[in-house]
Structure 1
């Protein structure tokens, strides 16, 4: 038997093997290991006990005699003409190929699973958000007047901040939020949120009062404490709270009034 043949000379005998592997597209171009590398790979594989030597040889379509002769040799090209070289090379090619296919399948399955989990999480978030709105609406405040409104102790800027933060959580749609506030229109919300900064800027807008009630009910429902600023507002504004009229901070004086102050 010739032991020093090059890797390319062993392709023809192997092509006559069982057609079982023909769909793998394996040929001499796929011989990635020299003889020594392949022997080391075989020893490593069999050492992992994934299959017995008998099963391995059956997969490689190699008889034990050829296998032992190949494994006893040493040298990068020694054994290239042995059927074990081509059979084992094809085995590892097929094995790596299956692993890549399985990896792609697993990646696709993981993508589908994550998409499904995302949809379920989004649906659960929506259900939880609607449940929260329902419980907020059912909460009763103890200091409501005859019209069902309590005095307002957050200024306009604070309400705008709370609205931005709540909508930023994306737990409910804007339509559901507007309905929970008391069927407020999107135009009113847009107008209120676009006003310039100022404690009273937008106080006449329906969103100001209804927004305050919404977030006050939410705080009460969740057992949240009043902030330091809120307590200061209660003390400063008294029992009536902030005035519900627009105040953009501008002040106008008669010329005569200005002259009197000079």
Structure 2
């Protein structure tokens, strides 16, 4: 430790290098050390109490958040959608939109892939049948509005996110409303294998973000 001395404190304020001054300063510094040593346990205890209080507060906040998350999850699983009873809930998200939602959720780090698969299975199927990790990987690797629509991951994740939306009191997205406008009269997004289409030699088949397919003039 170090301390500055004012000349007025010293035995000889005129000659600062006087041995008496050096002895005085040494003695005062030793007193300061002893005082600091005596106060150390008190200071440490105060720091420990603050740390314990902070840890306790953090633990309480974490427990409160976990309780809220559990309550929200219970609320999610208690929601019933039309078609829930026989696995015929109509889909109004494209496969690409579902992939976006899945990836966004997994990126938060709040849920593992295994836990996500358990949750979507529980949300969509009465017997909570297992959905394998490979099925999720396969679904996420595809591209296209209807690519992967036959997958159990597609159906279960839609049901899960729809119940989650309702449980959180969120409104429908523009994509969701556009999908309803396009597919509501046809029972939702088709859940069948992709078809082959016939078009003219000067045309090509394109699919839009909602899953609609049409022939357009070829770009080549």
Whether 2:5 is the aligned partner of 1:38: answer: yes
| Cα shift readout 1:213-252 (whole Å, capped 9, x = no counterpart) | 11111111112111122111111113311111344xx966
| Counterparts of 1:226 and 1:216, CA distance in 2 | 9
Q: What is the CA distance between 1:94 and its match in structure 2?
A: 4.2
Partner of 1:243: 190
Q: What is the CA distance between 1:212 and its match in structure 2?
A: 0.5
> TM-score normalised to the size of structure 1?
0.57
| Cα shift readout 1:142-161 (whole Å, capped 9, x = no counterpart) | x3266143211100111111
| Counterparts of 2:22 and 2:107, CA distance in 1 | 69
Whether 2:92 is the aligned partner of 1:153: answer: yes
Whether 2:123 is the aligned partner of 1:167: answer: no
Unaligned 5+ runs, structure 2 = 122-129, 204-216
Q: Secondary structure at the match of 2:80?
A: coil
Q: Secondary structure at the match of 1:38?
A: coil
Partner of 2:127: none
Give yes or no for contact 2:120–2:160 (8 Å, CA) kept in 1. yes
Task: Specify which of 128, 145, 152 is matched with residue 199 of structure 1.
Answer: 145
| Counterparts of 1:253 and 1:107, CA distance in 2 | 77
Partner of 1:23: none
> TM-score normalised to the size of structure 2?
0.66
Write out aligned runs for 1:1-262 (5 A).
37-39=4-6, 70=10, 73-78=13-18, 80=20, 83-95=23-35, 125-141=65-81, 143-144=82-83, 147-182=86-121, 183-195=130-142, 197-239=143-185, 240-247=187-194, 258=201
Q: Secondary structure at the match of 1:90?
A: helix
Unaligned 5+ runs, structure 1 = 1-29, 44-67
> In terms of Rg, which structure is larger?
1
Task: Count residues in correspondence.
Answer: 196
| Counterparts of 1:134 and 1:77, CA distance in 2 | 79
Q: 1:104 to 1:125 in 2, by over 3 A?
A: same
Q: Secondary structure at the match of 2:172?
A: coil
Q: Secondary structure at the match of 1:238?
A: helix
Q: What is the CA distance between 1:112 and its match in structure 2?
A: 7.6
